[in-house]
Amino acid sequence: MKQVKVFLNEKDIPRQWYNLAADLPTPLLPPLGPDGKPVSPDMLAPVFPMNLIEQEVSSKRWIDIPEEVLDILYRWRPAPLRRAVYLERFLGTPARIYYKDESTSPPGSHKPNTAVPQAWYNKQFGIKRLTTETGAGQWGSALAFACKLIGLECKVFMVRISFDQKPFRKTMMQVWDAKCIVSPSNETNAGRKVLKEMPDTPGSLGIAISEAIEAAVTDPTGQTRYSLGSVLNHVLLHQTIIGLEAKKQLKMAGEKLPDVVIGCAGGGSNFAGLSFPFVADKINGANIKIIPVEPTACPTMTRGPFAYDFGDTACTTPLLAMHTLGHAFIPPPIHAGGLRYHGMAPLVCQGIVEGLLEPRAYHQLVSYEAALTWARTEGFIPAPETSQAIAAVIDEAKKAKEEGKEKVILFNYSGHGLMDLSGYDAYLSGKLTDYELPEAELKKYTKDLEKLPKAEMRKTGKW
C-alpha cells in the first residue's frame, strides 16, 4: 500500500510564521483612512490590540510563534497530510493528490490557527472581551473555542442565513461559553439601520462585521476589541503554519515541490495559509500553478475590480486595496457560507495582480457533485467551502490524465461538513440551483467604488 498519511511529531511543528509581505515583488498598497491618507497603526488601536497591529504592518519575513500558543495548537497540530489515493484510483489519474487535513481541529476547520494567537495577543494586551462576525459559523465557533481556553469573553454576530441553515454551530459557540447573536440585530446602530431598510435580508458578512466592530469600539470600559477571521495580513500570517507543515510532510512523502496548489477562498486565509510558503518558491523561480477558488455566486477575484473599498457595509473599516464586489454586496444564500464575502485579502489580491495566482470560480452544483465524489471515495464529508477546492482538484487531476503527466497536486481540506448537512440534504433532494452573479448586479454594487480613491495595479510583469 502507498503511504496515505504523513504525520509530524510535536517537536517538528513550525516555530515561526511566514510573512509573504517580506517577499512580494510589488509591495501592498497601504490601507487608507476616510481622508484618503494612509492609516497609521495608532488609528487601528480602538479596534485591535497593538501587538496584533504590529504584525499587521510588519515586513519581517519570519515571526516567532509564542510557546503558549503552540501549547494550545498541539491539541491537533501538526495536522496530518493525507494522500487521496482512493480518489486518484477512482479518477484513474497519474496525479498524486495530497491534502492538508485542517478538519481535525476541535471546531472542525483551519480557523483556530488564528483564533488562538489572536485571543492570546489580546489577553497579553489586557483585553477582557472579543467581538466578531461569522458566516458559516466556523470562525465564530473557532473564536469561541480559543477565548474559552485563553480566558476571554466572546460575542459573535452570525449572518442570518447561516444562523438558519446551521443551528448547531450556535450550540457549539454556546458550549464554549460564547454569546451568538443573529445579524442584522437590534443590538447595534448598524444592525438596526439594515433591519429598518431590509427587514427580510439574509444578512451578509459586511453587515455582521459592522455590528461586531461597533460593539467593540462602543464598550465604555475600553476592554473589548474586535477580531477578524480572515482577510487581514496577521490572520493570513497565522495560517501559514499549514503550508510550512505541508512542505516538511511532502518531503517526508518523497516529493519535491507540488505542481499545483489549490485552496478555496472566502477572505483568503486558508488558501494563503497553505499556499504562501509555496508562493515564496514561485517568486524564487519554481514552476507552480497556484489556484484560489471561489463560487460563481460571489466572484470577487474573477470578476470584481481591483479597487479601494471598505471591509464592511457601514463603511467603518479603513479602505483596503483588493478585488471587491462592493461593500453593499448582498450575496445570494448559497451554502458555502464562508465564501460569501464581498472582498478578498489584500495579500492574495496583490498576488493575483502580480500574476502569481490564477483564481477560478465554480458553480454550487459542480462543487456538491465533487463533494459527493470525495465522500464516496475518500470517505470524509467536506465543508461546502472545501468542496469548491475539491471541484478544482478533480479538474486538475483529470487534466493530468489527459496530458499523461504525473503531477503533484496539493490542496487545503479546510473543514469538515458535519455541521453543514442541511446543504447536502438540499442538494440530494434536488433543491439546489446554480447561480451566476448577473452583470447588472455587479455594476450596481461596484458603482460606489467610483467615488473612492483609485487603486493602482502594480506588477513586475514576470508572471
Ligand X SMILES: Cc1ncc(COP(=O)(O)O)c(C=O)c1O
Residues that bind ligand X (CB under 6 A): 109, 135-136, 138-139, 230, 264-271, 338-339, 383, 385-386, 414-415
φ and ψ of 338, to 5 deg: -80, -5
Q: CB of residue 183 vs ligand X: minimum separation in angstroms?
A: 15
Q: Which residue, 93 or 105, is less far from ligand X as judged by CB?
A: 105
Q: How many CB atoms lie within 10 A of CB 40?
A: 12
**Pairwise CA distance, residues 191 & 81, whole Å:** 42
What is the radius of gyration, based on Cα positions, of the chain?
20
Q: CB of residue 114 vs ligand X: minimum separation in angstroms?
A: 9
If residue 130 lies in a helix (H) or strand (E), which one and from where to where?
strand 129-134
For 49, the grid coordinates are: 490590540
Q: Which residue has the cell 515583488?
A: 25
**What DSSP designation does 240 have?**
T
Q: Cβ-count burial of 120 within 10 angstroms (0-12 exposed, 13-18 middle, 19+ buried)?
A: buried
Q: Which residue, 88 or 133, is less far from ligand X as judged by CB?
A: 133
Q: CB of residue 303 vs ligand X: minimum separation in angstroms?
A: 17
Q: Which residue, 102 or 259, is less far from ligand X as judged by CB?
A: 102
Q: CB of residue 390 vs ligand X: minimum separation in angstroms?
A: 11
Q: CB of residue 110 vs ligand X: minimum separation in angstroms?
A: 6
Dihedral, CA atoms, 178, 182, 188, 193, nearest 10 degrees? 170
Decide if 212 contacts 132 (C-beta within 8 A): yes
Q: Which residue, 93 or 270, is less far from ligand X as judged by CB?
A: 270
Distance of CA 1 to CAs 4, 5, 90, 93, 246, Å?
A: 8, 11, 16, 17, 21
Of 414, 373, 140, the closest CA to residue 265 belongs to 414
Q: Which residue, 19 or 270, is less far from ligand X as judged by CB?
A: 270
Of 70, 79, 149, 68, the closest CA to residue 109 belongs to 79
**Pairwise CA distance, residues 437 & 39, whole Å:** 33
CB nearest ligand X: which residue?
338
Q: Which residue, 19 or 388, is less far from ligand X as judged by CB?
A: 388
Q: CB of residue 181 vs ligand X: minimum separation in angstroms?
A: 17
* Sign for the pseudo-dihedral over CA of 355, 357, 358, 364: negative
Q: Which residue, 231 or 400, is less far from ligand X as judged by CB?
A: 231
Q: CB of residue 136 vs ligand X: minimum separation in angstroms?
A: 4
* Coil vs helix vs strand at 410: strand
Q: CB of residue 272 vs ligand X: minimum separation in angstroms?
A: 8
Q: CB of residue 26 vs ligand X: minimum separation in angstroms?
A: 22
Decide if 295 contacts 388 (C-beta within 8 A): yes
**Pairwise CA distance, residues 310 & 174, whole Å:** 31
